[in-house]
Amino acid sequence: MRGPHNILRLIRTGATMERSGAMAEVLQAVQAPPHVAVILRVLAWPFRWLGYKGDPSLPPVPQALTVLGPAYIKFGQILSTRPDVVGEDLAYQLRVLQDKLPPFPTSQARAAVAREIGRPVEELFSEFSEPVAAASLAQVHKARMAGTGEQVAVKVLRPGIERACRKDTDAFHFAARVIQALMPGVRRLRPTDVVDHFESVLFAELDLRLESAAAAEFSANTEEDPKFRIPHVKWDASGRRVMTMGWAEGIGAADIDALDAAGIDRRELAQRVLQLFLLHALRDGYFHGDMHQGNLKVALDGTLIAFDFGIMGRIDEYTRRVYAEILFGFIRRDYRRVAEVHFEAGYVPPDRDVDEFARALRAVGEPIFGMDASHISMGRLLAYLFEVTERFGMQTRTELILLQRTMVVVEGVTRSLDPHINIWQVSKPVVEEYIKDNIGPKAFLRDMAATARVLARFGPRLPQLAEEALARTRKAEKEAETLNSVQRLAWALLGGGVTALAVWVIWMV
C-alpha cells in the first residue's frame, strides 16, 4: 500500500487542516515565517474541498487531527505537553486528545471482551460501565470483578484500529521516501528509519498482551520507588485486544485546579515526575514512553500513579552511560567533555573538530543556566540544536528516538505543573547518583566481575575452544604457506620466461 496513491492521503491532510481552520492556527502558533505560511495556505486552499469535516464542536486543530486518524492524534498528544513550542492556547486545545475523544458504543466493547476472553461479560464482571475515557487507540471502562468485587479498569481496542493505523503509516512511509529523494540535505536524519521505528512502536501498542507484560515488568522494577505506583494486571481477564488492571483512583495530572484544591504540592510533584523518568531510564534502562498528563494520576496522598504501558522504552547499559555523561556534562557546563563523549560514542563523524563542536554545544547550554525556565524558548533552542546537528553531520539514532521524544513530553508535563522548574537543577541529583555508581572504579570492578562470570560459565569448554583456535591457526598457516609456494613458483616461471626472452633477443641481434 506504500505507492504513489498515498499522495491523495497527504493532500487530504493539508486540505483537512485548511478546511477546519487548523492550518492558520498551527502556523501562527509555531511562528512560521510569513512567506512560508502564505505558500502553504495557497497550496492547500484549492484542495480544501477534499478535506474531512470532522467534529465541528471541537477546536480547529483537535478537529482536524481527530478526523485524520490515530497517528495524527498521537502527534497532537505530544504537542499538548509543549505550551512553550505551540503556545498556551493551542496546548490547552490539544489536551482533549489525551483521553476525551469520542467513544465507540459500549455494546461493541462488551462483544470484544467476550470474544477475546472467551466468556460472557456477565461471568467476568458484576458491573461494566459506559466508557470513562477514550483515547486514540482504545477506550476504558470501569468494572467490578465477579466474585471478588474488586474495581478494575478494562481497556478495549477500537474496532478497525489496525487498518486505520496502517493507512496512516503507509502515507508516512511514502512521504519519508519522497522527502529523502527530493531533499538530500535531510537524509542524515534518516526519515525512513524514523517512520519504521514509529510504526514498530505503534503496532506493538496494538497488542495488549505486550502492554500487560510491560506493566508487570515496570511494576517489578519500580515497586520500591517512593510515592509511585503501577496498577496490577488481571491476567485472567486480559488478551490481545483487552487488558484489565486494578482501578487507579486519583486526580488527573492535567487538572491543575483539582490538584490545588486537594492541597497537592505541584512544585514537588513536577520534580518527582522528572526525577522518576530519569531514574527509570538510567537505573533500569526501561521507562514509560508515553508519560503525558492523560496517563498520569495523583492520589490524595501525593502518590503518582502511571498507566497505559503500550509504549515503553528500553536502552542498553552502554547507551545509558553515554546519555548520563552527556547530561552530567551539561549540568556541570563541561561542554568539552560533552563534545568528547559524542565523538567517543560515534555520534559525530571523527573528521569534525571537537573544539568547534564544544563551542556550538556551549551556545546551546549556556542560555539555560541562571535563567527562569519560563523565559527559555524551547522552540528556538530546538531550532538551534537542529542547526548544530546539521553542521556537524550527526545522524538520527533510532535507538534514542523514543528516549528523546519522552524527555520532551516529560519536560512539558513538569512545566505544566511548575512553569518555573529548572530541569537541570532537578535532574542533577539523579544523574550524579548514576554517574557515581556506574562510571568509575566501582563500575569497572563490577564490569570485570560480570566478565569473569561469563568466562567461568565457559570454563569447561576453554580447552576445546583453545584447541579449535590452534587448529584454525595451523590451517591458516598451511594455506598461507601453500599460497606463498604458488606465488614463488609463479614468479620463478615469470622470471625464467623474461630471461629466456632476453637471451633470444640478444642472440637474434
The pLDDT of residue 175 is 74
Spell 187-199 as b/e; 16+ CB within 10 A means b.
eebbbbbebbbbb
The pLDDT of residue 379 is 46
Residue 130 DSSP SS3: strand
Q: Are 270 and 188 in contact (CB under 8 A)?
A: no
446 or 507, which is more confident?
A: 446
Report, as an integer, the average pLDDT of 5-24: 80
Cα–Cα dist 466/472, whole Å? 10
Would you state the cell numbers that stand for residue 435, as one nine-digit string?
Answer: 554517574
Confidence of residue 455 (pLDDT cuts 50, 70, 90): low
Cα–Cα dist 289/286, whole Å? 9
Confidence of residue 473 (pLDDT cuts 50, 70, 90): confident
Report, as an integer, the average pLDDT of 430-443: 77
Q: Supply φ then ψ for residue 439, to 5 degrees.
A: -135, 115
The listed range with the strongest mean pLDDT (40-44, 169-173, 249-253) is: 249-253
To the query of whether residue 447 is one of the catalytic residues in this protein, the response is no
* Among 389, 374, 295, 320, CA closest to 78: 295
Confidence of residue 245 (pLDDT cuts 50, 70, 90): very high
Residue with cell 514509529: 198
Cα–Cα dist 509/506, whole Å? 5
Cα–Cα dist 68/138, whole Å? 16
Confidence of residue 38 (pLDDT cuts 50, 70, 90): confident
* Among 366, 374, 405, 402, CA closest to 270: 374
User: Residue 348 carries which DSSP code?
Assistant: S
Is residue 110 predicted with pLDDT exceeding 90? yes
Provide the whole-model pTM: 0.72
Residue 147 DSSP SS3: coil
Report, as an integer, the average pLDDT of 169-183: 75
151 or 73, which is more confident?
A: 151
Average pLDDT, the chain: 79
Q: Supply φ then ψ for residue 128, to 5 degrees.
A: -150, 110
Confidence of residue 487 (pLDDT cuts 50, 70, 90): low
Residue type, 399: E
Would you state the cell numbers that stand for residue 69, as one nine-digit string?
Answer: 486518524
Cα–Cα dist 320/329, whole Å? 14
DSSP line for 237-273: G--SSEEEEE---SEETT-HHHHHHTT--HHHHHHHH
Q: How many CB atoms lie within 10 A of CB 461?
A: 10
Give the pairing type, strands 228-229 and 312-314. Answer: unpaired
Q: Are 405 and 450 in contact (CB under 8 A)?
A: no
Cα–Cα dist 160/198, whole Å? 19
How do residues 359-407 score in pLDDT, each as one tens digit?
988 887 777 665 665 555 544 555 565 567 667 777 656 566 677 778 8
Is residue 221 predicted with pLDDT exceeding 90? yes
The listed range with the strongest mean pLDDT (8-17, 179-188, 190-199) is: 8-17
Confidence of residue 83 (pLDDT cuts 50, 70, 90): low
The pLDDT of residue 441 is 67
How do residues 457-472 score in pLDDT, each as one tens digit?
666 766 776 777 777 7
Would you state the cell numbers that stand for residue 146, as one nine-digit string?
Answer: 465477579
262 or 493, which is more confident?
A: 262
Residues forming beta bridges with residue 140, ordered by sequence position: 133, 155
Spell 357-387 as b/e; 16+ CB within 10 A means b.
bbebbbebbeebeeeebeebebbebeeeeee
Confidence of residue 107 (pLDDT cuts 50, 70, 90): very high
* Among 324, 356, 313, CA closest to 348: 356
Contacts of residue 363, defined as CB under 8 A and 6 or more positions apart, other chains included, come to 384, 388
87 or 145, which is more confident?
A: 145
CA 132 to centroid of chain Cα atoms: 27
Report, as an integer, the average pLDDT of 22-38: 73
Cα–Cα dist 287/311, whole Å? 9
Cα–Cα dist 190/170, whole Å? 17
Q: Are 293 and 328 in contact (CB under 8 A)?
A: no
CA dihedral 215, 219, 222, 223 (to 10 degrees): 170
Confidence of residue 13 (pLDDT cuts 50, 70, 90): confident
Cα–Cα dist 297/307, whole Å? 8
Confidence of residue 488 (pLDDT cuts 50, 70, 90): low
Confidence of residue 57 (pLDDT cuts 50, 70, 90): confident
Residue with cell 553542521: 391
Lowest mean pLDDT among 126-135, 176-185, 219-228, 432-441: 176-185
Residue type, 429: P
How do residues 335-350 score in pLDDT, each as one tens digit?
898 888 888 888 788 8
The pLDDT of residue 217 is 95
Report, as an integer, the average pLDDT of 307-334: 83
Residue with cell 499538548: 80
Report, as an integer, the average pLDDT of 172-189: 68
Cα–Cα dist 292/496, whole Å? 82
Would you state the cell numbers that stand for residue 268, as one nine-digit string?
Answer: 514537588
Q: Supply φ then ψ for residue 354, to 5 degrees.
A: -70, -35
The active-site residue, picked from 84, 99, 168, 290, is 290
The pLDDT of residue 454 is 64
Confidence of residue 216 (pLDDT cuts 50, 70, 90): very high
Cα–Cα dist 175/436, whole Å? 45
Would you state the cell numbers that stand for residue 6, as one nine-digit string?
Answer: 498515498
Cα–Cα dist 428/391, whole Å? 29
Report, as an integer, the average pLDDT of 33-41: 73
Spell 10-42 as b/e; 16+ CB within 10 A means b.
ebbbbbbbbbbebbebbbebeeeeeeebeebbe
